[in-house]
Amino acid sequence: MGLGEHDVPSVRSGALTRSYTWASPIPDACVSGTGSKRVPCVLGVDEAGRGPVLGPLVYGVAFCPLDRQQDLRDVGFADSKALTPERRDELLQALLHQDHIGKWCLLIDRLGRMLRRHPNNLNEQSCDATVMLIQGVLSAGVDVTHIYVDTVGDPKAYAAKLKRSFPRYQHIEWTVARKADATYPVVGAASVAAKVTRDYCIERWLYAERNFGPHALGKRKREDAEPGETLDEADSQSVWQTGSGYPGDPKTVQYLKETLDPVFGWAGIVRFSWATAKSMLEEPVRTNASVRTSLLGTPCPPSTRAYAVRWMDEAPPPKAQATLQGFFTKKAPARGLSTSAAASDDAQKSSPLAPEWQEDRKMLQEKRHEMWQRWSLASCSAADLF
């Protein structure tokens, strides 16, 4: 039985368009007492979604008093990937109803920093997310004395890096290990929170893109379709089955191929920076296939799945570069304001324009009187023009 509509409070309603954090109320059992009588707590960190090419990366933390760790072990928290979806749902419900356990989650939307020309890699983003979540718990007044983290890379190096991020908390003892979610119950609790949050988000994904999604009206032709043939309703629904989101899942690969637009790429659910997505954009297709269009109606190229794109700071091809240089070094046409056609002709003769520019200028001269008349009769303000 799946989770109900309001059973995963860490998932916001609406489309996921930016990263955000969610936190449960701080349990009284974690903040009672002051000074030396403060309750020492243990905290665990884990993530879900580092490998998939679809959906957000979710980091979760869980914390509780040191003397209540056995309660987590008795409930049965462990590596979320080793549990069935039904068991994860049950554990999340148990987690939500434990009044001595705190939960925080961070959803990193589409890992946007990896799309930069000089990207911030996944390990850096993971470290930043871990530090931010732990700092949030500490700033809330929780006296964390021991932190367990599922490692990113070498455990010793990662532990030293995390510790350097908290110079004011030298009393905290750090344990960074591989498969920490299967060893330490508090990390298992964080793993379950992150995994269920991500799964719930993917299964009920809301597309922020207009006219895109399972109910989109766009139709596109098969590569082997007859002229005028499009997808029927059953095929159209199967297009939107994302599968597990991992690159090795046939359903995920099929989803990427079917929803790819050769100009705009994919919807926000896809991580463009993943090797799977990058290679698919340049993947060769059959040159003898009939002309097909994407779900958005964009004609697809006959040789590859997408048109070539460039970063804005990449050098253009030599021919295009010469054209741009010629544009800026060419003698500028006269800019004097004149309503006389003769003056305009003189300016044009003294500084010849390219043929296409001459056609545009001729059109403006012919329509000038009509345009000024319309503007003079229109009711508008400066805000309408600028």
Res 58: pLDDT = 92
In tens, the pLDDT along 20-43 reads 899 888 888 888 766 556 789 999
In tens, the pLDDT along 173-210 reads 999 999 998 889 999 999 988 999 999 988 889 898 87
Res 216: pLDDT = 61
Angle at the Cα of 246 (from 158 to 50), degrees rounded to 5? Answer: 20
Res 142: pLDDT = 92
pLDDT confidence bin for 110, thresholds 50/70/90:
low
Q: Residue positions in the annotated binding site? A: 46-47, 150
Residue 383, φ and ψ in degrees, nearest 5: -65, -25
Angle at the Cα of 51 (from 43 to 82), degrees rounded to 5? Answer: 60
Res 19: pLDDT = 87
DSSP per residue, 104-166:
EEEEE-TTGGGGSSS---HHHHHHHHHHHHHHHHHHTT-EEEEEEEE-SS-HHHHHHHHHHT-
Tell me the C-alpha distance between 86 and 3, whole Å: 9
Residues near 313 by beta carbon (within 8 Å), at least 6 away in sequence: 117
Reply yes or no on whether the pLDDT at 222 is more than 80: no
Residues near 303 by beta carbon (within 8 Å), at least 6 away in sequence: 284, 285, 287
Reply yes or no on whether the pLDDT at 17 is more than 90: no
Torsion of CA 242, 246, 250, 254, to 10 degrees: 50
pLDDT confidence bin for 220, thresholds 50/70/90:
very low
Strand order in the sheet with 20-23: 20-23, 102-108, 57-65, 40-48, 143-150, 173-177
Q: Are 191 and 88 in contact (CB under 8 A)?
A: no
Q: What is the mean pLDDT of residues 65-83?
A: 76
Res 139: pLDDT = 92
Res 249: pLDDT = 92
Q: Which two tokens stand for residue 143?
A: 């006296």
Reply yes or no on whether the pLDDT at 282 is more than 60: yes
Compute how many other C-beta atoms are within 10 angstroms of the C-beta atom of residue 213.
18
In tens, the pLDDT along 316-358 reads 556 555 554 555 555 555 444 444 444 445 544 555 555 655 6
Reply yes or no on whether the pLDDT at 252 is more than 90: yes
Reported as half-sphere exposure (CB side, CA atoms, 13 A), residue 213 has a value of: 14
In this structure, of 91-100, 110-119, 123-132, the range with the lowest mean pLDDT score is 110-119
Beta bridge partners, 261, equal 265
Compute how many other C-beta atoms are within 10 angstroms of the C-beta atom of residue 24.
16
DSSP alpha helices (H): ranges in 8-121? 28-31, 69-75, 85-96
Beta strand spans in the chain (E): 20-23, 40-48, 57-65, 102-108, 143-150, 173-177
Q: Residue positions in the annotated binding site for a divalent metal cation? A: 46-47, 150
pLDDT confidence bin for 225, thresholds 50/70/90:
very low
Reply yes or no on whether the pLDDT at 66 is more than 70: yes
What phi-psi label fits residue 123: left (phi over 0), alpha (psi between -120 and 50 degrees) or beta?
Answer: alpha
Q: Model pTM greater than 0.75?
A: no
Res 318: pLDDT = 60
Exposed, middle or buried, 298 (CB in 10 Å: 0-12/13-18/19+)?
middle
Q: Are 57 and 45 in contact (CB under 8 A)?
A: no
Where b means 16+ CB within 10 Å and e means fewer, 66-99 reads eebbebbeebebbbbeebeeeebbbbbebbbebe
Residue in 318, 285, 277 with CA at minimum distance from that of residue 302: 285
Q: Which two tokens stand for residue 239?
A: 């297009």
In tens, the pLDDT along 144-163 reads 999 999 999 999 999 999 99
Domains of the chain: 20-203 (3.30.420.10), 218-329 (no CATH)
